[in-house]
Structure 1
Amino acid sequence: MPIRYVAKLGTGHTPSRQKPEYWTDCDVPWVTLADVWQLRDGTLHHVHDTKEKISKLGLANSSAVRHSAGTVILSRTASVGFSAIMGKDMATSQDFATWTCNRELDPKFLLYVLRAMAPDLRRVAAGSTHKTVYMPDIEELRTPLPLLDEQRRIAAFLDAETARIWGLIGARQQQLKLLEERELSRVFNSIAGTEEPGARKSSGLRWLGDVPVDWPVLAVSTQYEVLLGKMLNQERARGEYLRPYLRNFNVQWDRIDAEDLLYMNFPPNERSRYEVRPGDLLICEGGQPGRSAIWDGTVSEIYYQKALHRARSRGRSSVRWLFYCLRAATALDVFSVEGNSTTIGHLTGEQLRAHRFPFPERRTQDRLVSQLEEAAEQAKRTGELLASQVELLAERRQALITAAVTGQIDVTAARGVDV
C-alpha cells in the first residue's frame, strides 16, 4: 500500500532568517539535520528534544507545520534515510518527510518499515551538492499492511530483538575499548620500566612517575635530530622542481597514508633538509600533537611540510622507542597540558626537542619494543575479529527488520536465536 493512503504525508520549512522577529521567543521544537546525530545508530525511537526551536510567529508566517506527537519522520536530504517518531508536537525543516498515521497503520510499525528501506533510500538519493530523495519519490513509497494487531506484534518483536542485538554490539564495542586501554597500559608500563623485575627506581617525570635508576631521563634533542618541514606558500604548486610531500593529514598513529599526496616546489638546495628517508619518524605539530608514524619508503623520493616534525635518530636510540614514548605522552594529554594555552593543539619544535623521556640502553629499548610489537600484533588480530562481529551483528539487525516487516518470518513463532 502507498504509505500516503494510510498516513497523511507532510514535510516542513524554515522561517525566513531575514526576519529577526521570527527567531525570538522560540519555543516550538523544530527537527533539523542538526538532530540526525540522535538517529544514526537506530537505537532511539522517539525524538523529544531538538537543537533548535522556532517561534509561533515564524510558524504562522512560513510553510512550517506543527505535527502531532506520534508523527513519523524521515530525513531525505544530505543525511538520507534516518527515521524516528515525534515524542511531542513538533515542526520540521524541509529536509524531512512526515507521516501522521491513520487507524490502519501503527507508527512504530511504519518506523521499522522505513528503517528496512533505509539502505535503498540512500542508494537512490540524487543530487550533485546534497543527496536528496525528492518528494515525488517519497509519495511513491509503499508499506506492507498486515492487520493492526499483527503490526504491533511485529513492532514489539523487533523492539526486543534489536535491543538484544544492540546489547551484543555494545559489549563488543566495550571489548574494543578495553583492548585499546590494555595496549596503552603496556606502552606506559614499558617506557616507565615497571616491567623490569628487581629494578631500583628513581625519580622520573611528573606524568610518568619513577623509572629504573639506570635509565637516564634525557631531552629528545640529545637522541634525535628534530626539524620542522617546509612552510607552505602561494608558489608551492608552481616551479620546475615539484615533488610530493607529506602533511598532517597523511600521518595517523603508526601509519602513513601515501595515497593522497600533494606537490610542492623543492629546489635542489632544499632537498637534503626536507627529504624524508625510510626510518624517519614524522610527528604531528598540530591537530593531535604528538601523533606519529615511521616512514617506510613507499614513495622513493618524498618531502614534508611544516605541519610535521621529522625525528631522525643520532644512533643511540631507536625511533620506535620515541614513537612509543609519544604514544604514552599523547594518551595522557601531556602536550596539551604543557603547551601554549592560547593555541589549540600545537607542539612547537622547541617543546618537542626539550621534552624529556627515559632512555635505557639500546638493547633494552629494542627488547621492550619487540615485546610491544608482538603484543600489538596480537591485539590487532583480536580487534579485527571484534570489529567483524560488530559489522555482522549490525547486518543481522538490518536483515531481521526487513524480514519481520515483510512477513518473511512469523514473529509469533520466532524466539531469539531461532530467528
Structure 2
Amino acid sequence: MSATALPAGWRRGNIRHFAAMKTGHTPSRSVSAYWDKTSIPWFTLADVWQLRDGRRTYLGETASQISELGLANSAAELLPAGTVVLSRTASVGFTGIMPRPMATSQDFWNWVCGDELLPEYLNFQLRSMAPQLRGLNMGSTHQTIYKADAAAIEVVVPPVPEQRAIVDFLNRETARIDTLIDEQQRLIDLLRERRKSVIEIGTGWDGLVREGWSSQRLSWIFRSTASGTTPSNEDIVYSAGAEIPWVTTGELRESVIVDTERGVTSQVLDRYSALKLHPAGSLLIAMYGATIGRMAILGVDAASNQACCALVGPTGVIAEFVQYSLVAAKPHLLLEAAGGGQPNINQDKIRSFRIPVPPVAEQHGIVAYLDEQTAKIDVLIAETERFIDLALERRSALIDSAVTGQTVLRAEVA
C-alpha cells in the first residue's frame, strides 16, 4: 500500500493490529475417522475456483469436509463466520469471506477481524492489493506467500461508519458492473453460437441434403496423411527464424501457420525418420488431449510433433473448405476419440471420417462467404471482449479508489 496522505480519521498500519492471523491444516489422510461422519466445511485449493474472478464475496460449498475428530487432532481451526481467507500457495492472492464457521487447509492465511475492521472492507482492500500480494509469492517450484510477508501486510483503515459506506458503495457499483459484464458475456455466447451455426449451414452439417454434394472419406480427398515426432531438446531451435518450422498442437488455431515458436534444421529432419516435412497447404489436426480437434492450414512447408495429423495433397477439395467442415464436425469427430483422461484420435480414424463435399467451384464460394461472415462475427466478439476488459478495469479502479481514500470517491460515498 503506497504511503500517500490519508483522509482525516484514517489509519495505516500492520494488518495484525486490526485482525488476528490464522492458517489451516490437513488432518492425516491415514486416519479414516478424520474423514468419516464429517460436518465441518473445509476450504481448500480445490475450492479456489469460486474466488478467481473476484466477483464472489462469500465462500460457497466446499469440495471436502472434515470431522470434529479430525479438527481436534490437527492444527486446523474452526474459524468464525466473517473470517477473511487469502490463498497463499499455488493459486495466490484470491480472497473471500466465510459465511459460517469453517476450517481451511494450510494453503490459506486467514484473518479474523477485530472491532475496528469490517470483513467486507478488508476483503475489498485485499482484492485491491492482489497484484502486490502475488508479487510476494516466492520460490519457482512451490510458490507461496510466506508467513513473514503475510504478517507484514499494511492496510488502510477508515472509521467503521466510513467502512460501511464504502462497502455499500462498492457492493452497489460492482453489482452494476457485474450485471453489465454478464450481459456482454451472454452476447458473446450468442455470437459464438451464431458463428457455429453459420459454419454448420455453410458446410452441410445442418442435416439437410444438398443436390450435387457427396459424402467423402478424408482419405479419398487427400493424397496422404502423415504425422511427426519431437526431437531431443538439443535438436530443437528455439527461434521463430529456424530453417524449418516445427508445429505443435498449441499453435493450431483455425488459421494459417506461417511461422512457429520453434523449429529444426534440415540435418535434424534427415536424422529423424519419423520427422516429416509437410508441404504448404496441408491441413493439420490435433489428435491428443486438451487440444484434440484443433486445426490449422500450413502457409509454409513445416514439420510437426507426433500429436498432429497432416492431411496432405487435397484432391477435388480446397483445404479451407475442409477446415471449415471439420470445425463444424468437431463434435462428431470427437465421438471417435478413445481414452479417458487423455482422449485421442488416430490417423486411421481421421482417414475414415466422412464429410459432405460440394463441387470445387461451390467450395470456393462457400469459403469466401464463411470468411466474410466469421470475420464480421469475430470483430463483434473482439469488441465485446474489449468492453468487458474495460469494465473489469473500471471495477478494479473503483475498489482501489475507495479503499485508498481518494477524495472524489469519498465524496460520492458520503
Q: TM-score, normalised by structure 1?
A: 0.85
Q: Which of the residues 299, 306, 318 maps onto 1:296?
A: 299
2:42 partner SS = strand
Q: Which of the residues 283, 286, 289 maps onto 2:288?
A: 286
Q: Which of the residues 56, 63, 69 maps onto 2:68?
A: 56
Partner residue in 2 for 1:274: 276
Partner residue in 2 for 1:252: 253
Could you tell me which runs of 5 or more consecutive residues in structure 2 were left unpaired when the two chains were aligned: 1-12, 238-243
Report the Cα distance in structure 2 between the residues aligned to 1:316 and 1:278, rounded to whole angstroms: 17
Partner residue in 2 for 1:201: none
Q: Percent identity?
A: 36
Report the Cα distance in structure 1 between the residues aligned to 2:22 and 2:248, rounded to whole angstroms: 48
Partner residue in 2 for 1:357: 355
Write the deviation string for residues 210-229 of structure 1: whole angstroms up to 9, x where unpaired: 23211222222222124131
Q: TM-score, normalised by structure 2?
A: 0.86
Report the Cα distance in structure 2 between the residues aligned to 1:269 and 1:151, rounded to whole angstroms: 67
Write the deviation string for residues 33-87 of structure 1: whole angstroms up to 9, x where unpaired: 1111000111211114211222222222222111011111111222111111101
Letter in 1 for 2:164: R
Letter in 2 for 1:251: L
1:47 partner SS = coil
CA contact (8 A) 1:246 1:262 kept: no
Report the Cα distance in structure 1 between the residues aligned to 2:388 and 2:347, rounded to whole angstroms: 41
Report the Cα distance in structure 2 between the residues aligned to 1:14 and 1:135, rounded to whole angstroms: 18
Partner residue in 2 for 1:119: 131
CA contact (8 A) 1:76 1:95 kept: yes
CA contact (8 A) 1:241 1:267 kept: no
Partner residue in 1 for 2:43: 31
> Map of 1:366-377 to 2, 5 A cutoff?
366-377=364-375
**CA drift at 1:410:** 5.2
1:14 partner SS = coil
Report the Cα distance in structure 2 between the residues aligned to 1:238 and 1:11, rounded to whole angstroms: 42
**CA drift at 1:185:** 1.1
CA contact (8 A) 2:35 2:66 kept: yes
Write the deviation string for residues 227-280 of structure 1: whole angstroms up to 9, x where unpaired: 131466xxx539999976433333233355721458995437958x82111111
1:225 partner SS = strand
Pick closer, same or farther for the CA change 1:389–1:274 going to 2, 3 Å: same
Partner residue in 1 for 2:10: none
Q: Which of the residues 168, 175, 197 maps onto 1:185?
A: 197
> Map of 1:212-251 to 2, 5 A cutoff?
212-230=210-228, 236-237=231-232, 245-251=246-252
Asked if residue 172 in structure 1 is aligned to residue 184 in structure 2, the reply is: yes
Partner residue in 2 for 1:211: 209
Report the Cα distance in structure 2 between the residues aligned to 1:142 and 1:316, rounded to whole angstroms: 69
CA contact (8 A) 2:249 2:294 kept: no
CA contact (8 A) 2:246 2:260 kept: no
Report the Cα distance in structure 2 between the residues aligned to 1:53 and 1:255, rounded to whole angstroms: 49
Write the deviation string for residues 347-393 of structure 1: whole angstroms up to 9, x where unpaired: 33333223222222211111110111122222222222222111111
**Range that drifts further, 38-47 or 402-411:** 402-411
Pick closer, same or farther for the CA change 1:47–1:98 going to 2, 3 Å: same
**CA drift at 1:186:** 1.1
**CA drift at 1:126:** 1.7
Report the Cα distance in structure 1 between the residues aligned to 2:94 and 2:174, rounded to whole angstroms: 16
Pick closer, same or farther for the CA change 1:255–1:116 going to 2, 3 Å: farther
**CA drift at 1:409:** 4.4
Write the deviation string for residues 114-164 of structure 1: whole angstroms up to 9, x where unpaired: 111111111232222132222222222222222211111110110111111
Partner residue in 2 for 1:397: 395
**CA drift at 1:413:** 4.6
Partner residue in 2 for 1:108: 120
Q: Which of the residues 387, 397, 405 maps onto 1:407?
A: 405
Count of residue correspondences: 393
1:8 partner SS = strand
Superposition RMSD in Å: 2.9
Could you tell me which runs of 5 or more consecutive residues in structure 1 were left unpaired when the two chains were aligned: 193-206
Letter in 2 for 1:40: R
Letter in 2 for 1:237: S
Letter in 2 for 1:294: I
CA contact (8 A) 2:226 2:311 kept: no
Report the Cα distance in structure 1 between the residues aligned to 2:380 and 2:276, rounded to whole angstroms: 38
Pick closer, same or farther for the CA change 1:241–1:158 going to 2, 3 Å: closer
Report the Cα distance in structure 1 between the residues aligned to 2:268 and 2:68, rounded to whole angstroms: 58
Partner residue in 1 for 2:163: 151
CA contact (8 A) 1:289 1:335 kept: no
**Range that drifts further, 24-33 or 11-20:** 11-20
Pick closer, same or farther for the CA change 1:68–1:339 going to 2, 3 Å: closer
